[in-house]
C-alpha cells in the first residue's frame, strides 16, 4: 500500500488551520432581537455585544428596549437576557466544555426564571441561536409575570450546574442573588434547557460560576459585562464498583481467617 505523503501533509495542514481558526480569533460579535410580553406589556428590544468563547476576557452586552413594563427591572431575570450566549463566554479547565465547544454556536435554548419569594411569578425565555463566521445571531421570545422589587442594581452569587440529559441536550440549573438599592437581596432560580448540541460533555455534570460587572440600566438601556468559569464534576463510583469492592474485601477477610 502506497501513501501519498504530499496529500497527507496537505490534509494535516488544512486540519490545523481549520481547528485554529476559532481559537485564533475567539471574539465573536452577536446581535439579538427580543419580543413577547411581561405583565401584559410588550417586550421589544435589540441586543448587541461581543463574547470571548474562550472566556479569557470580559464579554459585554447592551440591550436597547423599545418597550418594557415600568414595574420591572430587567435584572429581575438574573441577566437571562444573555441566556443565548452567556454560557458561550466561559473559561474552562480540567477538560470541561463550554456551550461553544458543545454546539459551535448553533442551538436552541429555553429558560424559566422563578423567585421563591414570589410564588406564582415566572418568566420564560426561548431562544434560537445560529452562527456564521464570527457572528452570533439569535431571536428570543420573553413571556411571563413579575411582581417583585424594581430597584435592582446587581446580580451576584451566580452558580450553575450543567447536566447531560442525552447526546444532544443539557440542562443548566442556576441560582443567583438579586441585590436591591438598599443592600438587601432575594434569590432567583433559573432552569435552562439547551438542545441541538453536537458534542457531549466529558462528564455527566459540570459546575461553574459567572461574575457580572459594570451593570447599569437607565433610559431603557441595559448593559453589563460577564466572565465565567466551568469545571467537570467528578463522577461518583457506580453501585457495581462499590459492590465489587465490597466483594473483594469480603474474600480478602475470609482468606485471612485462621
Q: What is the pLDDT of residue 236?
A: 63
Q: State which H helix or E strand residue 121 sits in.
A: none
Q: What is the DSSP letter of 39?
A: T
Q: What is the pLDDT of residue 104?
A: 94
What length does the chain have?
258
Q: What is the pLDDT of residue 251?
A: 47
Torsion of CA 100, 103, 105, 108, to 10 degrees: -120
- CATH pick for 5-256 out of 3.20.20.70, 3.40.50.920, 1.10.287.3610, 2.40.155.10: 2.40.155.10
Torsion of CA 173, 117, 122, 215, to 10 degrees: -70
Q: What is the pLDDT of residue 235?
A: 67
Which phi and psi (to 5°) does residue 18 adopt? -70, -45
Cell of 89: 463566554
Q: What is the pLDDT of residue 20?
A: 37
User: Which residues in the chain show pLDDT less than 70?
Assistant: 1-24, 84, 235-258
How far, CA to CA in Å, does 230 sit from each of 2, 115, 151, 156, 157? 46, 25, 30, 17, 15
Amino acid at each position: 500500500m502506497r501513501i501519498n505523503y504530499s496529500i497527507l501533509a496537505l490534509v494535516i495542514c488544512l486540519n490545523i488551520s481549520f481547528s485554529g481558526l476559532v481559537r485564533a480569533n475567539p471574539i465573536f460579535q452577536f446581535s439579538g432581537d427580543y419580543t413577547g410580553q411581561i405583565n401584559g406589556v410588550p417586550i421589544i428590544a435589540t441586543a448587541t455585544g461581543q463574547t470571548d468563547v474562550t472566556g479569557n476576557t470580559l464579554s459585554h452586552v447592551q440591550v436597547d428596549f423599545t418597550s418594557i413594563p415600568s414595574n420591572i427591572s430587567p435584572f429581575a431575570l438574573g441577566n437571562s437576557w444573555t441566556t443565548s450566549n452567556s454560557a458561550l463566554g466561559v473559561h474552562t479547565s480540567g477538560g470541561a466544555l463550554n456551550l461553544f465547544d458543545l454546539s459551535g454556536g448553533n442551538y436552541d435554548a429555553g429558560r424559566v426564571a422563578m423567585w421563591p419569594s414570589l410564588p406564582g411569578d415566572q418568566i420564560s425565555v426561548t431562544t434560537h441561536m445560529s452562527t456564521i463566521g464570527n457572528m452570533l445571531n439569535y431571536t428570543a421570545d420573553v413571556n411571563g409575570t413579575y411582581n417583585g422589587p424594581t430597584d435592582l442594581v446587581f446580580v451576584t452569587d451566580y452558580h450553575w450546574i450543567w447536566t447531560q440529559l442525552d447526546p444532544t441536550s443539557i440542562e443548566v440549573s442556576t441560582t443567583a442573588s438579586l441585590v436591591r438599592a438598599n443592600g438587601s437581596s432575594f434569590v432567583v432560580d433559573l432552569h435552562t434547557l439547551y438542545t441541538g448540541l453536537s458534542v457531549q460533555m466529558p462528564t455527566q455534570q459540570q459546575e461553574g460560576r459567572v461574575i457580572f460587572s459594570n451593570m447599569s440600566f437607565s433610559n431603557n438601556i441595559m448593559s453589563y459585562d460577564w466572565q465565567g468559569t466551568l469545571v467537570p464534576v467528578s463522577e461518583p463510583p457506580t453501585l457495581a464498583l462499590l459492590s465489587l469492592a465490597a466483594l473483594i474485601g469480603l474474600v480478602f477477610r475470609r482468606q485471612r481467617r485462621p
